[in-house]
Structure 1
Amino acid sequence: MSDTGSSRFSRRVCLVTGAATGIGRAVAWRMAEEGADVAVLDINVDELETTRAGIQARGGTAFAVIADVSVPDDVRAAISQVESVLGPIDVLVSNAGVPIVGKVHDITLSDWDRTFAINTRSTFVVVQAVLHGMRERRRGTISITASSAALVAEAGSAPYAPSKAALVNFTKQVAVENAALGIRCNCVCPGWVDTPFNDPAFTSDSERVETVSRQVPMGREGLPDEIASAILFACSDDASYMTGHTLVIDGGLTLGPT
C-alpha cells in the first residue's frame, strides 16, 4: 500500500496501457490505492489478470481488457469497452512499449516498423481516441511513457530511441493544442528500471550490473514504484500548472559519463 494517505484520484476513471507488468502495473496499483476506478489494457492475459486482481485487493474498481496496441481498431474498441463499463476516462497513462534495439546499419525494416507501431503509433491512436471525450468535457490528464533513451545517443539503441524521442515531441503537441480546454499532457522518461521490460537488453545478470553501474551515477536501477510516483504526480491536481513537460527519472543517467 502507498503511504501517501491521499485520495488524489477519488471518483476518477483511469486507463493504463501496458499494465501487465512493471511500471504499468505499479501505476495501476498506486492509482487504486488513491481512490481511482482503474482500467488496464495489455496483450499479456495472465499477467494482466494479476494486475487486475491487485487493483481489487487495494480497494479499487478494476476492469481489464485484452488488446494489441499496434492494431488501431482493437485499441478504439477497448476504449469503448472501458467507457461503457467504468464511464468517461479522466486520466490516461499511455505506457505500452516494446524494447527492440539494434544498430542502424543492421536492423530490419520490419523491426523499425514494429517498434514505431507499438511505441509511437499506438500512443497516437490511444491518445486521440481518449481526447475526443476529454475535449467535450473540457478536462483530463494524460501521461505518456517515453524513455531517457529519447534524450541521448547510444550505439545500438535504434529503433527504440527514435520511437521514444517522437513521444517527447508528441507530448508537447498534445499539450499545446489542448491546454486551453483544461487538458494537460506530460511525459516521463525513465532510465534503467528493474522490470522484465529491460531483460532483453542484457545477456547476463553480470552484464546488467556492469552496464547500470557504468551508466547510472546513482549506481542502481530504478524501481517501478519510483516511476509510478512521478506519473501519479503528473496526473494529479498537484501538477495542475504543469503541461508539456518531460520529467526525467533516470538516476542521473542523462547527466553524462561519471
Structure 2
Amino acid sequence: MTEMTGRVALVTGAASGIGLAVAECLAREDAAVALLSRPEDDLDNARKRCAAAGADVLAIGADVGDPESVRKAFAQVEAELGPIDAVHNNAGISTVAPLADTSDEEFDRLVRTNLAGSFYVLREAARVMQPRQRGAIVNTGSELALMGQTGYVAYTATKGAILAMTRAAAAELASWGIRVNSVSPGTTKTPMFLREFDGVEDPETELAENAASVALQRIAEPSEIAECVSFLLSARAAYVTGTNLVVDGGRTTCIPVGTVGTAVEVLS
C-alpha cells in the first residue's frame, strides 16, 4: 500500500507526454486514475499502460476548453471511480511564432486550452472537493512563465497566468483543506516539444544546443516531472500549498558557462 491507495486521481492531457507519465506514476502508486484528453488523442494506449500497473482506469475524451465537457467528465469520474482526491491540471498546447506573426486564431486557441481550460478544470475540482473539505490540485505551468524566450510570447502569457491563478486558488481553498500548487517543467522530451523541431534543417544540433542551455546539460524525461507532481499530490506534501515547483535542471537559476579552474591567489 502507498499514500495513494484508495485515492482517485484525475489527470488532464493524459494521452501522452507529462500527463501520461503522471497517470502511470499514480497508477503504480495504487491510485484509481481517470485519464482526460481530447477525443482524437490515443487514450486507449494510455489506458492500457496505466491498467498494466494494476490500477482501475477510466479514459474520457473531453475538451478542457469546453466548461460543460469538463463538468460532465468530473461527474462521470465521481460516478464510476468515486470521489476525486487529486487532480493534475495539465492539458495544454504550444505555438511557436514571432509576436508580430502570431495570428488571432493561434492566440485564442492557446488561451482557450491553456488558460480557460485550466480555469475550468480548477473550478470543477474546487466544486467537488469543497463539500468534502479535502483534496490536492497541481497545475502545470512552465519555466517560460519565469523567463523570456523568442517565439513564445503568446504561450508564456497563458503559463504566467496559470502561476498567478495557482496562488490565488491556494489562498481561497486553504480553509477547505484543499491544497493547490503548480509545477513548472523545463525542456522535456514530450511529443509536443519534439514537434517544435519538425521542419528544422538540423534537429539534432538544435536539440543539443537546447540541452547545453540547461545546467544539468540534458533534457528532462517526462517521468522526472511526474515524480514531482506525484509528490505534490500526496500527503508527503501536506504542508505545501501556493508553491510553484520548478523542475528545469537549473535552467532558470544557473548559468552553465565556464569551468572551475585552480585556485589563484589574489593580491591586493
Normalising TM by the smaller chain, what interval? over 0.9
Unaligned runs of 5+ in 2: 257-268
Distance 1:208 1:84, change over 3 A: farther
Q: Which amino acid aligns with 1:167?
A: I
How much has 1:201 moved relative to structure 2?
2.2
Q: Which amino acid aligns with 1:220?
A: R
Q: Which residue of 1 aligns with 2:230?
A: 232
Q: SS at 1:255's partner residue?
A: coil
Q: Which residue of 1 aligns with 2:161?
A: 166
Distance 1:50 1:107, change over 3 A: same
Residue 71 of structure 1 pairs with residue 66 of structure 2 = yes
Deviations 1:139-167 (A, max 9, x none): 00000011101100112112111110101
Match 2:36 to one of 35, 41, 44: 41
Q: Which residue of 2 aligns with 1:152?
A: 147
Q: Which amino acid aligns with 1:216?
A: V
Q: Which residue of 1 aligns with 2:176?
A: 181
How much has 1:49 moved relative to structure 2?
0.9
Match 1:127 to one of 122, 125, 149: 122
The answer (yes or no) to whether the contact 1:20–1:44 under 8 Å persists in 2 is no
How much has 1:257 moved relative to structure 2?
4.1
Q: SS at 1:254's partner residue?
A: coil
TM-score, normalising length: structure 1? 0.94
Q: Which residue of 2 aligns with 1:212?
A: 210
Match 1:242 to one of 233, 240, 243: 240
Q: Which residue of 1 aligns with 2:75?
A: 80
Deviations 1:41-83 (A, max 9, x none): 0015552111111121101000000012222211111111111
Q: Which residue of 1 aligns with 2:193?
A: 198
Identity of aligned residues (%): 38
Unaligned runs of 5+ in 1: 1-5
After TM superposition, the structure 1 stretch with the greater mean CA deviation from structure 2, 155-164 or 40-49, is: 40-49
TM-score, normalising length: structure 2? 0.91
Deviations 1:180-200 (A, max 9, x none): 111000000001101101023
Distance 1:45 1:7, change over 3 A: farther
Query: How large is the Cα RMSD of the aligned pairs?
Result: 1.3
Q: Which residue of 2 aligns with 1:3?
A: none
Match 1:8 to one of 3, 11, 25: 3
Report the Cα distance in structure 1 between the residues aligned to 2:182 and 2:244, rounded to whole angstroms. Answer: 5
Report the Cα distance in structure 2 between the residues aligned to 1:209 and 1:32, rounded to whole angstroms. Answer: 31
Q: Which amino acid aligns with 1:242?
A: V
Alignment size in residue pairs: 253
Q: Which amino acid aligns with 1:118?
A: T
Report the Cα distance in structure 2 between the residues aligned to 1:45 and 1:58, rounded to whole angstroms. Answer: 24
Q: Mark the structure with the bigger radius of gyration.
A: 2
